[in-house]
Chain A
C-alpha cells in the first residue's frame, strides 16, 4: 500500500519566480518524514508538488522528476486527478465542506467520484472516522454539519476525509498549527498510527513535533528573500537534531537562526 517517493532535481516555479530549486530526496514508505525550515523557504510549495496540487495555482509549474515507486507523476500520460487520489493531503487550516454533514464530509472523495451504495459509504465513514480517532466523539451526530465541530475535531475530520479514499501517501501541511496542545497531541498520536499503513510527509514549524513524530527530517533554507529555497540536508531525525552535518541546520534547530 504505502509507496516510496523519489524526487530528483526538482525546480518549482510560480510564473517566472523560482520558489524551490534543485531538490532531490527519497521518502521511505511506512515512515514519517518531516520538513522543517524558515518561513518562505518553499516547504509548502515543494509539498504540493508531490500530489500535483501546485499546478492548480495559475502559473504554477515544475521541472524535474517525482517518482512514486516506478511511476513518474509528471509523465505526459498521467492524470493529475488520479495522482491526487493516490497522494492525499491535509491542509494547515481545517477545511470541511460547509454544505455537507460529518458523514458526507468523510465520504466526499468517494461520493463525488460516483460511489453510490449507502452501505459501503457508511462502512467507509465509520472506518475512516475510527482511523482518525474521531468516531467516538461524532458517532451520534453524523448528520450534523461538519463545520459545527471544534477546530481539532475538524482537522481530524479532514484527516478522516483524506484517508477515506485510501491513498498511498498522506501529505500534511502544518496540520496542527491552528490547534491547541491537546488536539495537537491527538493528531500526533494519529500520525504514529497512520504510519503503519501510509507514507507520511508533514511540514511543521514545531521542532519538538518534528522530533516526536518523524523518522526522517529534511531541512529547507533559502539564501535570502527572493532567492529560491533549497533542501539543505535530510537525514534520520535523531541525526538532524543531535548531530547535523550542516552549520545552517544546527543554527536553525538551536534557534540561532537569522
Chain B
C-alpha cells in the first residue's frame, strides 16, 4: 500500500476530475494492481489450510482407500496393532445415520420453510423464525445432551444409533429451514401469480411451481446440512459409542461411524497400522461428503433440463 502514498502524497489533490480522454491515470492503475494482488493473496491464504489438510490426509491415509478390503470389511477381530480389515462398518454406519437424519430433518425443514415463506404471518411466524435462529446456534454437544436427557434419562430407552439421528436432526433442521427459506424467497412472485391466475390452488402452486423452481437450491441446502451433520462427533460419542463390527440396526445398541472410528484410534497414533487407518477414515469421510455434493449437483442439473 505504501506505493500508493508516494504517488498522491506530495501533490495536493484538487477537487477536480481530470477530464475525459487520455492515458489511464497511473495512480488508478497502481490501485487496481494493488487491489488485485491483495485479493489474490487473500484467496491463496484461504486455500493454504484447505490444500494442506487435503494433502496430509490423502498422503497419510489415501493408499488404504485403494484396497477393496477397506470398503468391504469391518474391524471385527482386528486389534489396533494389526494391519488389515476395513471401514465398511463405519461407512455404512455414517451413511445409514445420515440417511435416517435426512429422512426426518428434510420434511420438517422444508415444510417449516414453506410455512414461513408461503403461509406464515404475524406473531407466530416471528416466533417460529426466532426459534430456528436459536436452534442454529445450539452446539452439537448440547443437542446430544438434550437427546440423552429425553431419550435415555426420561423415556428410559437404551443408547442406540437412532438417538444419534435425533440429535443430528436438531442440528440439521435449522440449516435446511434457512437455506430452503432463502431459495423460496428467490422464486419470483410473478410465478405464483401466474399459477393462481390459471385457477391453480395455492397448495398445488407451491408443490408444482414454487418447489420445483427452487429445487436445485433446496437440494444444495440439504446437502450442506447433511455434510455438516455427517462430520459431527459429540452426539456419536454420547449416544452411540464406537463398534468394530458391522451393525445396520439403528435401534439396537452400538454402531460404528467414521468420526468415532477416527476417535477410537486417536490414542495409538504411534502404531503405524492404526494411524494409517485413522488417516484413511478421515480421507473416507472427506470423500463421502465430496461425492454427496457432486451427486447433489448432478441431481439438480438433471432436474432443470428434464422439466
Contacts and interface: CB of A to CB of B under 8 A. Distances in A.
A162 B196 CA distance: 11
Contact of B196 (A53, A99, A104): A53
Contacts of A165: 198-199
Contact of B197 (A51, A96, A104, A113): A51
Given A97-B213, A113-B200, A113-B204, A108 B195 contact: yes
A91 B190 contact: yes
Interface in B199-248: 199-201, 204-205, 208-209, 212-213, 215
A56 B199 contact: no
A112 interface: yes
B193 interface: yes
B200 A81 contact: yes
B304 A99 contact: yes
Do most interface residues of chain B lie in helix, strand or loop, or is the interface mixed?
Answer: helix
Contacts of A81: 196, 199-201
A98 interface: yes
Contacts of A255: none
A60 interface: no
A98 B195 CA distance: 12
A99 B215 contact: yes
B307 A161 contact: no
A161 B121 CA distance: 31
Contacts of B41: none
B307 A113 contact: no
A88 B200 CA distance: 11
Contacts of A8: none
Q: Which of A51, A109, A158, A161 has the most CB of B within 10 A?
A: A109
A101 B306 CA distance: 8
B121 A99 contact: no
A85 interface: yes
A220 B69 CA distance: 80
B38 interface: no
B194 interface: yes
Interface residues of A, number: 30
A65 interface: no
Contacts of A83: 199
A84 interface: yes
A56 B213 CA distance: 20
Contacts of B198: 84-85, 88, 108-109, 112, 161-162, 165
Contacts of B121: 58
A253 B40 CA distance: 60
A192 B36 CA distance: 58
Given A58-B121, A165-B199, A97 B204 contact: no
Contact of B199 (A58, A84, A97, A104): A84
Contacts of B213: 97-99
B51 interface: no
Interface residues of B, number: 24
B306 to A, nearest CB: 9
Given A97-B213, A99-B307, A113-B200, A53 B193 contact: yes
A88 B197 contact: yes
B103 interface: no
Which of B193, B194, B205 has the largest count of A CB atoms less than 10 A from its CB? B194
B156 interface: no
A80 to B, nearest CB: 8
A97 B209 contact: yes
Interface string B77-94: 000000000000000000
Interface in A54-101: 56, 58, 81-86, 88-89, 91, 93, 95-101
Most chain A CB within 10 A, of B192, B193, B197, B303, is at B197
A255 B303 CA distance: 51
Interface in B156-180: none
Contacts of B298: none
Contacts of B307: 99-101, 104
Interface string A29-54: 00000000000000000000001010
A128 B172 CA distance: 46
A114 to B, nearest CB: 9
Shortest Cβ-Cβ A-B pairs, 9 listed = A85-B199, A109-B198, A89-B197, A95-B190, A99-B307, A84-B199, A99-B212, A112-B200, A95-B194
Given A95-B193, A108-B200, A112-B209, 20 more contacts: A53-B193, A81-B200, A82-B199, A84-B199, A88-B197, A91-B190, A95-B194, A97-B191, A97-B195, A97-B209, A97-B213, A99-B212, A101-B307, A108-B198, A109-B198, A112-B205, A113-B199, A113-B200, A158-B194, A162-B198
6 contacts: A56-B192, A56-B196, A88-B197, A112-B209, A113-B200, A158-B194
Interface of B: 121, 188, 190-201, 204-205, 208-209, 212-213, 215, 303-304, 307
